[in-house]
Amino acid sequence: MKLVFNWVSSKVRRVEPFLIPFIIFVFLAIVVPALLLTKYSFQAIGSPQLAERLTGNIFGTLGLSFFVSICALLLTLCISFPLAVLIWFACSSKSKKTILLLLTFPLLSNYFVKLIGLKSVFDFFNGSLNSTSGIGYTIIGLTYLALPLVTYNFINTLSSLPKVKNWAVKDLGYTFWGELFFLILPWSKTAFWSSSILFFLPSLFTTFISEFLNHDTGTQMIGEIISQISNMAIGSDESKPFVAFLASFLFTIAILFLVFSSLIVRSIKSVASWVKERTTLNRNKKLRQQNKIDILFPRRLGTGNI
């Protein structure tokens, strides 16, 4: 017991004082809700309507939500990054300021207003009201709403790129494609990660966008299912365990996504550093062997003049 107390006290001493509010916040916002959700998740469900929800269709809906979110994320990144590079390198400073101002205007308007405009355009070209049906419209809606913010993020990242590095890459003789792959992409990796995390999780649990743009009831997303169950849960105590199960399940997915994304990045960095160290060691080993050979069997220089 004394050893345990000494170990705990040694760990507590290492905690910085400014981390205490953060630890309290994590405990109240994550640990306590997780324990409550786990408690409710193992309670029985007495309502037949809610019991029907706990089928394989839930996991199919979750898989569809992952597919829609990943497609929308890839489409947004594939459009926003080339657009940001084109704006930053092909426009003058005055044009950049104008474009940045235009990009901030959609961020100031309401999502509902933008979705009404987008749906009106689709209905106009389709020739009928409420003509949007299918996950393709959900992907387009998610991309449409996130495109200005992600593009603005990439432009801000490129604006912090030092001109010295740009000049150094040009002095090395790289063309535009070499500058893109060896300078711009490595410099923009933080923007890729931040945009992906900020875009993926909200799009995975979206409710309003999929309900408004997709009128196909067979391709609902997980956010719509949770919304329906929450509406059924009003005034019903039997629905709380199932809602808690879904909430804890999605909470676990979100935490695992955040944790494993950082672990994947760390593992890639560690593997890259290990490969670099092994390459350096092999190169040094070959140099040492060559030096030993040169010492034992020195090369004869200028033997023809002797």
Inform me whether the pLDDT recorded for 110 exceeds 50: yes
CA distance 210 to 134: 9
Average pLDDT, the chain: 73
Q: Are 154 and 81 in contact (CB under 8 A)?
A: yes
pLDDT at 75: 92
Q: Are 154 and 196 in contact (CB under 8 A)?
A: no
Q: What confidence tier does 238 reach under pLDDT thresholds 50, 70, 90?
A: low
Inform me whether the pLDDT recorded for 69 exceeds 80: yes
pLDDT tens figures, 250-304: 666 666 666 666 666 677 777 778 888 888 887 777 777 777 676 766 655 444 4
More confident residue, 43 or 285: 285
Inform me whether the pLDDT recorded for 113 exceeds 70: yes
Query: For the domain 59-238, what is the CATH superfamily, name and number?
Result: MetI-like (1.10.3720.10)
pLDDT at 304: 45
Q: Are 119 and 212 in contact (CB under 8 A)?
A: yes
Q: Are 50 and 225 in contact (CB under 8 A)?
A: no
First to last CA, the chain: 84
Inform me whether the pLDDT recorded for 32 exceeds 60: yes
What's the rounded mean pLDDT across residues 10-18?
57
Inform me whether the pLDDT recorded for 306 exceeds 60: no
Inform me whether the pLDDT recorded for 217 exceeds 70: yes
| Greatest mean pLDDT among 1-10, 110-119, 294-303 | 110-119
For the residues of 194-225, what is the DSSP string, one character each? HHHHHHHHHHHT--HHHHHH---GGG--HHHH
What's the rounded mean pLDDT across residues 122-135?
82
